[in-house]
Structure formats: structure tokens, C-alpha cells
A and B are shown apart, each in its own frame.
Chain A
Amino acid sequence: MSLAAGLPRWLLIPAALGAAIVLVPIAGLLGRVPWARLPELLTTEASLDALALSVGTAGVSTILCLLLGVPLALVLARSEFRGLALLRAVVLLPLVLPPVVGGLALLAAFGRNGLLGETLELAGIRLAFTSVAVVLAQVFVSLPFLVLSLEGALRLGHRRYEQVAASLGASPSVTLRRVTLPLVLPAVGAAAVLAFARALGEFGATLTFAGSYQGTTRTLPLEIYLQREVDPDAAIALSLLLVVVAVVGVLLTTARRAPR
């Protein structure tokens, strides 16, 4: 046990303020939770539909993020070419874009009158107003989180192990499977949890691109926003649910890191 060992004491003041900025609003939210009505509010058909849809779509999005994001992070971490910095900046763009802009971009690409929309329409595929659109919006916003955190881990200097493996005759695929991936496995897990949490909280892009219909596209954040119109208590109860899921997710991630 030690508090800020080796650091100047004054540092504690801004640090405490920083923590307070996050903790005070959460405490305020907890103070408004209608505990007595909680079971009733969380088990309405609309709430359960929203929860199931959120967990389901965020789960699928996380798998897609892993399948696409791990290769992308590897390529970004192990390449050197002109324009790499630009490519990375573009891929990470959704991190800094307002999600509603992401939604507009997705509409411009996959909407009926979008870049690929006409082709999709000819193929009989309509994305807007379906759960697939929800997943697409979630992957769009959470993929950069996974790529960014994983690329950092990949750059930590495991190159030598890979070079040794190669010198011992391992093919690139074998090196990837037996050396590179096992080394970054904890980071992959942490990145996946981060992506899942981000997908779970996705709001703006989903609302803009996918629409809002119970059981199909109305995820928990959309349900919270809608319930706020008529029953603020219900919105707070559902918010608590999201906070709990997010906290569990973050704890799972940090627990993995603690032993190091």
C-alpha cells in the first residue's frame, strides 16, 4: 500500500479532480435509481428485447472486430511504407468522429441511394432498418478501439522472437500462430472487451443508420433515450444496467493486466 509513491504530493489534487469528474456523475445517476421499481422496469418486454438485441449484436460485432481487426493491427504494426501514417489515421477516424457522422457515412455507403446501396438492392439485400445495420454501425465505431490497443501491444518488441522462429525454419503462418499471437493474447482479450463495451454503448451511428424498432434495431442506448421521453425512472434503470455491464467488462480487462 502506497499512495503516489515517489510523486510530488500536489499531483494528488488534479488527480483527485480528474477522478471526481467521472465519479460524481455516476454517483448522481446511482442516487436517482428507482431501486424499488427496478425489477419491474428492467423486465418489461421492451427492456428485455433491447437487452437481448444489445448483447447479441455487440457479441457478433466483437467477433467481426476480432476477425478483421487483428489482421489489420498486424499489418499496421508490421508494415513500413509511405502513406502508412495516413492509412492509420483514416482507419482510426471513427475514434474521433461524432458517431452521428459515422451513421451518415454508413448511410452514404450502404443506404438505398448510397455508394453500394444500389448494388446491394439489386442483389436483394437491404441493410437499413435491420439488425445487420446495427452490427455494421457497431463494427464501424468499435473496430478502431481494438486495432489501436492491439497495435500498441504488437509494437512492444516481440520482433526478435519472430525472427528467431523464422530463422529456425518456421513459415510466416506458423510464426504468427505459434509465436506472435500467443504473445499478444492478453492484449487481444483486453482489446475485445473494449470493443464489446464500445459496441454495447453505440448510439449515434445506430440511430442515424439503422433506425429504431423494438427487437430489430432498438438497442439499450436507443431504448434509454426513448424512455426518457415518458418515464425518466425507466431510463435511469436501464442506464444502471449499462453501467453494470460496462464496469464488469472493464474489471475483467484490468484483472487480466494486474499480474504483470
Chain B
Amino acid sequence: MRIRSLAVAGLALLAVAGCSASPTPAPSSSAAALEGTLTVAAAASLQNAFTELGDLFEGANPEVTVEFAFAGSSALVAQLQEGAPGDVFASADAANMEKASELLSGDPELFAGNTLTIVTPPGNPSGIESFADLADARLVVCAAQVPCGTATAAEADAAGVTLSPVSEEQSVTDVLGRVTSGEADAGLVYATDAEAAGDAVERIDFDTTVVNEYPIAALNDSEVAAAFIAFVLSDEGRSVLASYGFKAP
């Protein structure tokens, strides 16, 4: 993991700069040192990647403390609408960013993409090899009401496969839990979740047609919020996200 992330970071830097190979924290663009506390409301699937981004951002800006609120995107929108504190909002889909549009102080920018992948318990007990095999499997997916469920339905449509899951979960982590516990023979989760699960699952990639895109936006016009968003969108930010399995938007 560590080696891969360094390799990805190195490649990204080589591609951009063509020389230096050691990743360096992005210097803050503004002349005055940034300070204060930054609260970032971010989709649950971003937890690992954003925690690392937050650490790096704090390292580059010692006077800044970054705090995160990780939850499902729609729950975050509801909390923000009810007055929860937040300077930056990173959503797992455009629909929830749209719901928060009245709270935003700038236009949302896409910073990452995520695709679905098939996961099975170790050993792949029911021998899943392709998306079509899911039709007869003891399968768990996300409910159509949440972003990963929308993506699941779109992939099934594109593949022309009728899925008959035994359970439609509220969140992608719940789907993953069903698979790692061995209750289900297969699940459809995001590539990033499969990556984070490591050896607890076997991963079977298929030709995806849907890329779930993640927008990020400031909730006020603070400099720190703008600097954090710029950092997430920077090459270094992208390479950190890539190391957790996120695609470029």
C-alpha cells in the first residue's frame, strides 16, 4: 500500500514536473500563513483518504487544525441544513451537492471518481467470475435510494442483467460487512471500499459504465477553506486519493 502510494505519487510528479521524484507538501499559495480550525464535512467513503489529506494539510500549515465530520452524503446535507458547522463539503455524488446548493459559497468542483466492483468472501465460494454470474448469487447491494445503489442499478441495466439481491443495504460499508462476514456470496461496492478491505475480500473487476463523481465546495469564503479545496485538487491531493483507489474525475 505504502509502496504503491509512493509509486503513484512519484509517477504523478514525474508526469507533471518531469524531474523531482520525492513528494513535497503543497505550499500554501497565499503569502500570509493560514490559521484557525477548518471543519470538513465529507462523505463516509472519503474517510481514509481525507484523513491523510488533512494530516498533510496540517503539516504544510502548522497553524491550521482540520476537523472532519464523516457520514453519508445525504445525512451530512441534512446536518448542514440544520445548522451543523462546516467550512467545506465533499459529497459522494452530484445529487447531494445539488441539495446543499443554497449553503455553498462557490461552485462545486469534481475532485475524484469511484467505480463499482464485485467483492466476494475469500475463496469466492460460489465461483463468481463476471457481472452476469451475480444474477444467481446470494448477492447484497446498496438500496436504490443511496448513491451506490443508483450506480448498481445503472450497471445492471448496462450489462442487461437482472439482479435479485437478498438484501439492499443503506450504505456501501454495510454491503461490505455482509461479504466480509461471509453472510453473502457477493456484493457490489466501490473500488475504494474493496481496496480498504484488503485480504478480507476477493475483488472481481468488470467493465464499468458508471463513474460516481465526487464534488467538493466551500461553505463560506474563508481562505483556509479555499486553500484546502485547492490542495485536494492539486497533483499531490490527486495522488493521495489515487492511492486509496479513487480515479481522476
Contact = CB atoms under 8 A, between A and B. Distances in A.
A225 B169 CA distance: 11
For the residues of A in contact with B, the DSSP-based class is loop
A129 B167 CA distance: 6
Interface in A169-228: 207, 211-214, 217-218, 225-228
Interface in B138-156: 140, 143, 145-146
B170 A225 contact: yes
A145 B165 CA distance: 34
Interface stretch (A12-20, A83-91, A107-115, A238-246): A107-115
B171 to A, nearest CB: 10
A230 B168 CA distance: 15
A211 B178 contact: yes
A228 B145 CA distance: 9
Nearest to A230: B145
B167 A111 contact: no
A126 B146 CA distance: 27
A107 B181 contact: yes
Given A113-B182, A225-B170, A213 B165 contact: yes
B207 interface: no
A147 B169 CA distance: 33
B183 interface: yes
A167 to B, nearest CB: 56
Contacts of B168: 212-214, 218
Interface in B104-160: 140, 143, 145-146
A128 interface: yes
A213 B163 CA distance: 13
A216 to B, nearest CB: 8
B178 A113 contact: no
A217 B168 CA distance: 10
A228 B82 CA distance: 14
Contact of B183 (A111, A217, A218): A111
Interface residues of A, number: 20
A226 to B, nearest CB: 5
A213 B74 contact: no
A218 B167 CA distance: 9
Contact of B166 (A107, A211, A227, A232): A211
Nearest to B165: A213
Contact of A229 (B146, B174, B178, B183): B146
For the residues of B in contact with A, the DSSP-based class is loop
Contact of B169 (A107, A212, A214, A232): A212
Interface in B159-207: 165-170, 174, 178, 181-183
A213 B174 CA distance: 13
A177 B244 CA distance: 66
Contacts of B169: 211-212
A228 B146 CA distance: 10
Nearest to A127: B183
B78 interface: yes
A111 B181 contact: yes
A227 B187 CA distance: 22
A112 to B, nearest CB: 5
Contacts of A229: 72, 74, 143, 145-146, 170
Most buried by A among B165, B178, B181: B181
A27 B165 CA distance: 39
Nearest to B74: A229
Contacts of B145: 226-227, 229-230
Nearest to B178: A211
Nearest to A130: B166
Contacts of A111: 181-183
Given A226-B143, A227-B145, A213 B166 contact: yes
B183 A107 contact: yes
Contacts of B165: 213
Nearest to A214: B168
A118 to B, nearest CB: 11
6 contacts: A128-B166, A211-B167, A212-B170, A214-B168, A226-B143, A229-B145
Closest 8 CB pairs of A and B: A211-B167, A129-B166, A229-B145, A230-B145, A113-B182, A229-B74, A128-B183, A213-B167
Given A107-B181, A111-B181, A111-B182, 6 more contacts: A112-B182, A129-B183, A207-B170, A211-B140, A211-B167, A217-B167
Interface of B: 72, 74, 78, 140, 143, 145-146, 165-170, 174, 178, 181-183
